[in-house]
A and B are shown apart, each in its own frame.
Chain A
Amino acid sequence: MSYLELKNINKSYAGVAAVHDFNLDIEKGSLVSFLGPSGCGKTTTLRMIAGFEQLDSGTIRLDGSDIVPVPPNRRDIGMVFQAYALFPNLTVRENIAFGLQMKKTPKKETEKRVNEVLDMVRLQDTAKRFPHQLSGGQQQRIALARALAVQPRVLLLDEPLSALDAEVRVVLRGEIRRIQSELAITTVYVTHDQEEALSISDKVVVMNKGLIEQIGTPEEIYRAPMSRFVATFIGTANQFLGKTSGKNKVLCNNVELLTGDLNGFEEGQAVVVLVRPENVQVQSDKPQQKNWNIVPGGIETITFHGAVTRLGVNVNGQRVVADITVANTQPVSLNQKIWLMFPPDACQVMAAEE
């Protein structure tokens, strides 16, 4: 039984569909991310849950009851914005107490709650300061504390880390996940940053052009992308365009690839073969493995990424990237002729149209 249920949601602006037939069930206590490029409809969907946007059609049920007719200030939903949105005329303490005061919570209890959430975000000593005296990261923690103080039924986060520095971003996303699991609060998290989505979510909803591309755990999304969009939007993937041939072969312009079973594809169908760079191995001598894809190429670029080194290899005119770790490879140099190898099960095949 899902806690937050979005059914057949449609929304368009001036005739352009922003969200199209959106269906999603969110379990109580889980963190679900909406991930996609800007303009994919993720923020619009979030704002419909919050009540700031009207739906054209569809229903949103929270804990069994329809919340669409409920105004935003009665929905009991906490929201954190990209731009912090702390009230500049109120101190940190007053900001956090705001929601409790709106609910007419007794003074003592308000005090207690404010201290609790300040503890939770580890910013007890900022209580008397004003927002403009805090750093961006601190402001966003306070915004989180403010949203949590009223113990909302659902927490919505709209690109909460986009305005922050890379370092703060990583720390704060860990904090968000920690607090979310401690409170077991149902959370929807909107982001365009795949690393962020993959690292903190129970489930990721990948969206594109108002449509859901895929729903799954971070692992499923990365390992088994169900569309070319997902495969290329999340991580990097080499793409080979070609036509199926026989039970497990794809003929591409420049190479012939061995793949897994091609059940479900017609003979000669146009397909795309996707291979993640970390699955591509590099050898200086021709490898002898049987039933592996083995192709020769020349190194055109070498980019050092820290843990891995990314090679750009020219294979019959197509650029193929391979990630190698320094530990298990011999040194390579530019223009070196090498061999690339990857097993058939590293190849993901999908129909080429779309």
Chain B
Amino acid sequence: MKSSLQRKTGHTVDWLGFAPFLLFCLAFEIVPIIFLLRGSFIEKTTHQFTIQHYLDLQRPLYINSFINSIKLSGLTAIIGMIIGTFIGYAIYHWPSERVREALITLSDVTTNFAGAPLAFAFVVILGMNGVITQFMLQYFNYDLYPKFSIYSFSGLILAYVYFQLPLMVLLILPAFAGIKKEWQESAQSLGADTLQFWWRIGIPVLIPSLIAGLTLLFANAFGAYATAYTLVQAKLSLVTLQIGYMIAGEVRQDQAVGMAMAIGSLFIMGLSIGIYQAATLRTRRWSKS
């Protein structure tokens, strides 16, 4: 009894073993973020408290950055969630285990293929002279450009969905595994048909996983930088791109506005990760029974 209680709370000495890691996190993550938060409320010359930096975010450039970022993340998260769920279902019920495992491995690898190489791969296929662009032009006599452009919002959506899809597949597969065959059979023996089962049991059971997937995908896209940086540069303003410009000193903006922007994006990310956590907790509680 006593030893288990000790293990739970820990002696002061035991906490010392945790200290190096905690210090590392404080030094390279938590304290800098706190300074960032503080900086976003401080007037640069007078060192007085101010909310002016947040008011400055109302300028069209910043407002647009937030709107674009949210639109891009939201849209690719929804597309990724819906299509990813169906693909996940197809993979989950694929008869051959080897094919299933191969597809899961593929998802594992491709979801990490974000950034510059991926952006460039999309230029190769969908750029002005890309493979698919050429293919469409020669076989269907249809020019994707200028309606579509890989260097624009529509192009970014295609590139983002590339890493969103496999991420959703990976997130939803355990959820399908969690829908037990016995539930389906119970429902059937109680008189339900397939549609009634999915409507009353299957989909409600999946919903926490779908919400968790949606929010994680949203956060995943919202924080992305390298893909967008490589593809659109200054043609489209996104929150992460704006913050990046401020660090690099490429734009002559007040640094404090950048901090306010960073805190704003932290808030949005925190919200989605929080919802993700809550949803995941619920799926765990259900799968327990």
- A residues apposed to B, CB below 8 Å: 50-52, 71-75, 77-79, 81, 83-90, 98-99, 102-103, 130-132, 134, 139, 143, 146-147, 150, 152, 156
Contact = CB atoms under 8 A, between A and B. Distances in A.
Interface stretch (B41-49, B51-59, B84-92, B178-186): B178-186
Interface string B191-205: 111001000110011
B252 interface: no
B50 interface: no
Contact of B205 (A72, A73, A83, A88): A88
B188 interface: yes
A150 B185 contact: no
B286 interface: yes
4 A-B pairs with least C-beta separation: A99-B190, A85-B182, A102-B191, A132-B289
B187 interface: yes
Contacts of B98: none
A103 B200 CA distance: 14
Given A83-B180, A98-B190, A98-B192, A89 B185 contact: no
A272 to B, nearest CB: 41
A73 B289 contact: no
Interface of B: 180, 182-183, 185-193, 196, 200-201, 204-205, 285-289
Contact of B186 (A51, A75, A79, A132): A79
Nearest to B285: A132
Contact of A73 (B180, B191, B200): B191
B289 A88 contact: yes
B201 to A, nearest CB: 5
Contacts of A87: 183, 186-187, 200-201, 205
Nearest to A50: B189
Contacts of A98: 187, 190, 192, 200
Contacts of B186: 79, 81, 85-87, 143, 146
Nearest to B190: A99
Contact of A52 (B185, B196, B204, B205): B185
Nearest to B185: A52
A195 B192 CA distance: 35
B76 to A, nearest CB: 28
Contacts of A50: 185, 189
Nearest to A84: B289
A86 B289 contact: yes
Contacts of B182: 81, 83, 85
Nearest to A156: B189
A88 B286 contact: yes
Contacts of A51: 188-189
13 contacts: A79-B185, A83-B180, A84-B289, A86-B289, A87-B183, A87-B201, A88-B205, A90-B200, A98-B192, A102-B191, A146-B186, A150-B190, A156-B189
Contact of B188 (A72, A134, A156): A72
B191 A103 contact: yes
Contact of B190 (A102, A131, A134): A102
Contacts of B285: 132
Contacts of A90: 200-201
A102 B196 contact: yes
A146 B190 contact: yes
A113 to B, nearest CB: 13
Given A72-B188, A73-B192, A85 B183 contact: yes
Contacts of B189: 50-51, 72-73, 75, 77-79, 147, 152, 156
B50 to A, nearest CB: 49
From A71, A72, A75, A147, name the one whose CB has the most chain B CB atoms within 10 angstroms.
Answer: A72
